[in-house]
């Protein structure tokens, strides 16, 4: 069978080595605090992965289990604690707009998940730096960033093209339009030059920088095409449907497609390898590596901010 399976552990290994070496060489101890305020099995599994990876790379990780009604106050305490360099919350907590509010309670200089308004705005508007001197790269949401790093690893990004345009000519479908992963991922891929079909239960949207990718940032259009139609056109199909009931029929896929799943459930059928050239069954370990990568970046930003304030 010609299909190649790419495991998240293989992709994350390089990043984990770099993170560990950086921490060891600089003799630093960045601290990440995770807040668990739900009983969701996927959130608990993510917390376990985070703790294990942090222990291996030298990051200090503290999981704080709190009642959801106390979560905002506990996040505020961590915001003002100088010993805490990164904060994350395991979602969903309330399962509604209140989760959006909690995301914006995390101080942006400690937002390792990249979910606060400032960072999300930058993703959608293709702003890649936090300052005019371009010395502070933006923090990118972890799972979308993990998907991008995997696509780079397997060669979907064309390094012959200019940085920022390396997905030009690629057609990608993302089946999930959540504000946590699906929508920012579609925006990032479109900002890098791809034609992106974003699919959810309400229909299909097209994310693109226009013909010849002449626009600085992507635009979004509602289109009448169905999921079945856009999947058949796509070089890459990325799924993230959070239910075991959803299975994308293999016969819909283009022959030689690259198939990636970021859901905690298997969204592709068991025979996916009969149609795909590359299959990525999960991205979790890369997500955790991106979390630590963001943490190191924020650690430096916080210390630079303190130094500027003191001087």
What positions carry a catalytic annotation?
A: 142
Contact between 31 and 84 (Cβ < 8 Å): yes
> What tokens appear for 210 in the block?
């226009």
The CA distance from 72 to 102, in Å, is: 7
Contact between 248 and 228 (Cβ < 8 Å): no
Contact between 218 and 184 (Cβ < 8 Å): no
Paired sense of beta strands 171-175 and 195-200, if any: parallel
DSSP annotation of 286 reads: H
3-state SS, residue 224: coil
Identify any residues that bridge with 252 across adjacent strands, giving them in sequence order.
none
Q: What Cα–Cα distance (Å) separates residue 308 from each residue in 30, 90, 311?
A: 20, 32, 5
């Amino acid at each position: 069978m010609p299909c190649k399976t790419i495991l998240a552990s293989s992709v994350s290994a390089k990043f984990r080595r770099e993170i560990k070496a950086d921490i060891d060489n600089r003799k630093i101890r960045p601290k990440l605090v995770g807040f668990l305020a739900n009983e969701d099995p996927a959130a608990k599994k993510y917390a376990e992965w985070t703790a294990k990876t942090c222990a291996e790379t030298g990051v200090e990780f503290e999981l704080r289990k709190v009642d959801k009604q106390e979560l905002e106050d506990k996040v505020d305490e961590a915001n003002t604690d100088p010993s805490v360099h990164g904060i994350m919350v395991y979602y969903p907590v309330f399962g509604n707009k209140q989760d959006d509010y909690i995301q914006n309670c995390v101080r942006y200089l400690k937002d390792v998940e990249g979910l606060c308004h400032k960072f999300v705005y930058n993703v959608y508007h293709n702003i890649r730096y936090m300052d005019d001197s371009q010395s502070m790269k933006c923090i990118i949401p972890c799972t979308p960033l993990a998907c991008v790093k995997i696509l780079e690893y397997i060669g979907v990004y064309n390094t012959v093209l200019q940085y920022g345009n390396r997905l030009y000519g690629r057609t990608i479908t993302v089946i999930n339009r959540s504000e946590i992963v699906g929508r920012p991922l579609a925006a990032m891929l479109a900002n890098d030059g791809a034609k992106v079909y974003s699919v959810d239960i309400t229909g299909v949207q097209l994310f693109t920088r226009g013909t010849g990718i002449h626009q600085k940032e992507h635009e979004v259009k509602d289109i009448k095409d169905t999921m079945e139609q856009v999947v058949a056109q796509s070089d890459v199909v990325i799924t993230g449907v959070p239910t075991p009931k959803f299975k994308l029929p293999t016969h819909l896929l283009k022959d030689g497609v690259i198939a990636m799943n970021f859901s905690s459930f298997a969204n592709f059928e068991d025979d996916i390898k009969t149609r795909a050239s590359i299959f990525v069954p999960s991205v979790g370990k890369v997500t955790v590596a991106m979390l630590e990568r963001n943490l190191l970046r924020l650690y430096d930003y916080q210390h630079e901010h303190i130094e500027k304030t003191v001087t």
